[in-house]
Amino acid sequence: MPTTASLCSSQLGAEVCGEGAARLPAGAKSIPAQAAWDCIQSVPLNRTAALELLTAVRPYVRWQSTTAVLKNPPAEYVAKVQEPVDIWGGLDNIEKKLKAGEWTREYDFGWELYHLFQSAHDGHFYYLPDVVAGIFSWGRPLELVSVSEDGFKIPGIFVFADVLTAAKDTTFHPSAVSQINGQDAAAFLQDWSQISGLQDRDALYNVNFYNLAQVRQGGAGSATGLFSGGNYARWTYPGGKTTITYANGTTVTYENYARVLQSFANIKSGQDLYDKYFKTAGAMQNMVAKKTASASSPGYPEPVVVDSSNLISGYFLDGEHSEVAVLTVASFEPSIDEFQSVTEKFLAEAKKAGKKKLVIDVSGNGGGYIVLAYELFKQLFPQTEAYAAADRLRASNEVQMIGEVYSATGSDSPFNYKQDLQVDGKHFKNWPEKFGPVQSHGDNFTQLIRWDWTDPNVLSGITMTGYGTRTEFKQPFAAEDIVIVYDGHCASSCTIFSELMRQLVGVKTVVMGGRPNKNMIQAVGGVKGTNAWSWLGNIRNMVQESVAMATADQSKKMKNSELDQYNSDLPFQRSVASGVNNRDGIRKGDSTGTPLQFVYEPADCRLFYTLQMTVDATAMWKAAADAKWNGKECVAGNLGSIKRRSEQTSSGTTQKVAFQNTLSTEVVDALEKSRDLESEVFVFFGADSKALH
């Protein structure tokens, strides 16, 4: 568990921001959350600098593909997913507040700007101001899980430490959590989950909890859950304390903590903090740690194959499930050629071992390289054309000018008309044909485009299965012999893979968990946009490159245009990370032009997590296999169950749970150690996005 620096336990922000901070013990990782909060609240607002930053941010928002639809989304999206968000109106409102002098603290401005982006619930669209994400990050010293007593009773909420105690002592029956900070526990967590970047409310609810699939990703995932301080909770102050009330009447209060992300040497006031980190270019950049994958996978069996980053692995089940192979894809971000070879090797090993069924587990998959989403589909269905959805970009003035330059020079860029295909698989004839614009949902967009998987510029050194030298592959499993397991946290490239599997070949889906009800829920709960771009690594660099390559005539057109608005370094100096969704996914045959981000699509089967599933991934895989092939019932939906369970046998909400058998000391120790993951990982969401990310 995270340890706190005792010297700050009763001090206010002036102590933490002042001389007391300089006396932090070497290597101290955290301090009480209240002390850090008081410190960050003491940083004064520089209104002039804030207005300059806001002006410099606006051009990058023009690259976000969904602003028009966000303001006026489909009715089903509003009813079942999220409220409308007016991004441009929100920026105008922040500007008005700054000019009216409504704020005196830097944090108030930074939080409002951060929250505006986050409220879109689009994991590709974010701006993390320095004051929000660069000085402290936040956490709670406990993790939660949501489990059903028998797999059908409404799940209860339990403290994960109690679960581990029960795993060592079967006579101990953990009591459910009934309240958090005096509020009904489930209601509290539904409210808290809205701080995350996922969009679906059941996926959001799930991300609160400790999850084996996230833990195996180390710093690349959501760690030990949103409630404990993983995912977007790293940047949301949880209050100074958290009070847990159990169903048995016991109440325990925990002190929340803040991770110290910067040196406080010579900092004696909030003004000093501003001067050191919010005025000096690059002062914070070297302090940002990179995302790293975990070297271990607590709760997982020994894999048949695994990649070096521990993000894709294969397993064989045993006993009455001995015909089942399991491929877990925690991310599409491993080495591209290694991902291809590991997948190929596992599918070959599975067929060699006589496996007849395949479970694909994409729990916790936040995306990665687009090419790998297509590659995995093509290894499973090599003869099927991989076209389930096309893409489009906002057709802005800067996109038009940049496209003219790249198309004229023949550069490697999606703004060269020779890159990408039309929906019929043919190449565009020129840039105007590709650019359009086409009006849809009150905005202008390019023509629909598809990836050209014969173009080496987009393949990152591999030949995609089904093309070139890889055309002799045979389909390893029939579609009806495959099932995909989700926890709702499927985003970006994961949604591309899901769309291919569901729309083209009809593979069935099982989704785990969700809010405490028995309604059918979505399998895919993350961003469904198809390409993420960073502001600096993608947009700014491309703008500068196009200006440098422009002909004399093109330069005249660029002069005093929107491209002049990208000269400021403020958006990067004043943030930890930033990004946009620059490509919408539009389903094949959809005449309405509605981005998949706003399309609601239930799963085929819903299951609840059981106690065993929180510590043993194979229990979840076996339950999914039973629902798909062995006639077992789903909580909602149906994959062909033999009979329906009486509601009376599983009514009410789970209040107590127990293990039938103890876990080994080695397994429990590994799970116990994983609880420290979030306090050890000083990482930030959304490092510079890769071109195919």
- The H-or-E segment that residue 337 falls in is helix 336-352
Decide if pLDDT at 572 tops 80: yes
Decide if pLDDT at 546 tops 90: yes
Quickly state the pLDDT bin for 15 (edges 50, 70, 90): low
β-bridge mates for residue 139, sequence order? 257
Residue 26 CA to residue 49 CA, distance in Å, equals: 34
- Mean pLDDT of all residues belonging to the chain: 91
Q: What sign has the CA pseudo-torsion 309, 310, 313, 316?
A: positive
Q: What is the pLDDT of residues 232-245, one digit of tens each?
A: 999 999 999 999 99
Quickly state the pLDDT bin for 660 (edges 50, 70, 90): confident
The one-letter code for the residue type at 646 is S
Residue 521 CA to residue 512 CA, distance in Å, equals: 9
* Per-residue pLDDT at 574: 95
Cis peptide before 437 (omega within 30 of 0): yes
Decide if pLDDT at 559 tops 70: yes
Comparison of pLDDT for 583 and 664, the residue scoring more: 583
Residue 583 CA to residue 129 CA, distance in Å, equals: 24
Q: What is the pLDDT of residues 192-207, one digit of tens each?
A: 999 999 999 999 999 9
Tokens for 25, please give them.
């013990």
* Per-residue pLDDT at 403: 97
Q: What is the pLDDT of residues 99-141, one digit of tens each?
A: 999 999 999 999 999 999 999 999 999 999 999 999 999 999 9
Q: What is the pLDDT of residues 27-67, one digit of tens each?
A: 557 899 999 999 999 999 999 999 999 999 999 999 999 99
Q: How far is CA 291 from the centre of its chain?
A: 13
The DSSP code sequence of 114-165 is: HHHHHTT--TT-EEEEHHHHTSEEEE-S--EEEEBSSSSSBPEEEEHHHHHH
Decide if pLDDT at 294 tops 60: no
Residue 291 CA to residue 686 CA, distance in Å, equals: 9
First-last CA distance in the chain: 34
Average of pLDDT values for 645-659?
71
Whole-Å CA distances, 288 to 340, 395, 647, 687: 31, 34, 51, 10
Quickly state the pLDDT bin for 643 (edges 50, 70, 90): low
Q: What is the pLDDT of residues 461-518, one digit of tens each?
A: 999 999 999 999 999 999 999 999 999 999 999 999 999 999 999 999 999 999 999 9
- The H-or-E segment that residue 77 falls in is helix 75-80
Which domains, from first to last, does the chain contain? 305-388+462-527+599-655 (3.90.226.10), 390-452+530-591 (no CATH)
Average of pLDDT values for 71-75?
98
The strand pair at 183-184 and 156-159 is best described as unpaired
* Per-residue pLDDT at 651: 72
* DSSP letter, residue 207: T
- The H-or-E segment that residue 346 falls in is helix 336-352
- The number of CA neighbours under 13 Å toward the Cβ of 150 is 11
* DSSP letter, residue 417: T
β-bridge mates for residue 512, sequence order? 607
Decide if pLDDT at 419 tops 60: yes
* Per-residue pLDDT at 646: 52
Residue 631 CA to residue 640 CA, distance in Å, equals: 6
Q: What is the pLDDT of residues 165-176, one digit of tens each?
A: 999 998 999 999
SS3 593: coil
Residue 14 CA to residue 36 CA, distance in Å, equals: 10
Decide if pLDDT at 687 tops 50: no
Compute the CA torsion angle 618, 622, 625, 631 (nearest 10 deg).
-170
Average of pLDDT values for 595-615?
97
